[in-house]
Amino acid sequence: MKRLLPLATVLAVGLTVAISTPAAAASATINVPNDFVPALSDTRASGHYEVVGTALHIYTDNATSTAKVAEYIASGVPLASAGEPSLDYTASFGIAPGFQLVVDFDGDGTNDGILVGETVYGTDWWASNGSAPFVKQAAPLKTGGSGSAYHGSLEAWRMAFPQAIVSAFGFSLGSGVYADGKLNALQFAGDRYTFSTPVVLTSKSDCKNGGWATSSAPVFRNQGDCVRFFASGR
């Protein structure tokens, strides 16, 4: 992921509707699919994604159990520092995806569950059914009215699990959802993440005139480093 210039962020469902967010948010680029964590990927046969400009077009073919698009980016940020994550999304039809936080709730290096934020529930985040029993037991709220019986605001989750680490963050559309839209950006821990496809140079001539700096696979330190890479036959 490469850092870019600071940008503001918006949250959109259907039409792009701006909401207030920190003005000093930095920006970064997610290289697709290189920056997605393969072990966490849950994009199924009827779910798809493609980079369009700096956005990610995500869509499903139908409303079957294979209709799902879910990808994650590695993190390591404490839940206490995650801010209020949000998606900048423009829907063509169907519902919006949810923001997903893969969390190591007790800080022991093992993922214990996923917190899901969906616009339909506002600032209420719910724990996935597969979350560890101790996560469900200490959930801020154990009532209905959310995506699961175990839910609460992110601030309440932080208070319940002050040692929690977000090992990955991402999005999920589906399963069983027929929808189409454009994920313009993800806002997480004060940063705004947009999308790009990897830039791969093919010869040492591509290193000239600043070309070395555009490469994302691999990343070069300077033009000489780039030229040596191709001269070595790698």
Task: Give the domain ranges of the chain.
Answer: 2-198, 201-234
Picking from 12-21, 188-197, 221-230, which range would have the lowest pLDDT averaged per residue? 12-21
Whether cis (ω within 30° of 0) applies to the bond prior to 218 is yes
Picking from 8-17, 37-46, 121-130, 183-192, which range would have the lowest pLDDT averaged per residue? 8-17
- In terms of C-beta distances under 8 Å and separation of at least 24 residues, what long-range contacts does 47-54 make, across chains too? 47/173, 47/174, 47/175, 51/195, 51/196, 51/197, 52/182, 54/29, 54/184, 54/185, 54/194, 54/195, 54/196
pLDDT of residue 1: 65
Q: What angle do CA 27, 30, 33 make, to 5 degrees?
A: 175
Q: Is the pLDDT of residue 5 over 60?
A: no
Q: Is the pLDDT of residue 14 over 60?
A: no
Question: pLDDT (tens digit, 9 = 90+) per residue, 54-90?
Answer: 999 999 999 999 999 999 999 999 999 999 999 999 9
DSSP count for the chain of H helices, then E strands: 3, 15
- In the numeric block, the tokens 């004060």 are attached to 190
Mean pLDDT of the chain: 90
Range list of H helices, the chain: 133-137, 154-160, 223-231
The residues near 232 (Cβ < 8 Å, ≥ 6 apart) are none
**pLDDT grade for 24, boundaries at 50, 70 and 90:** low
pLDDT of residue 216: 82
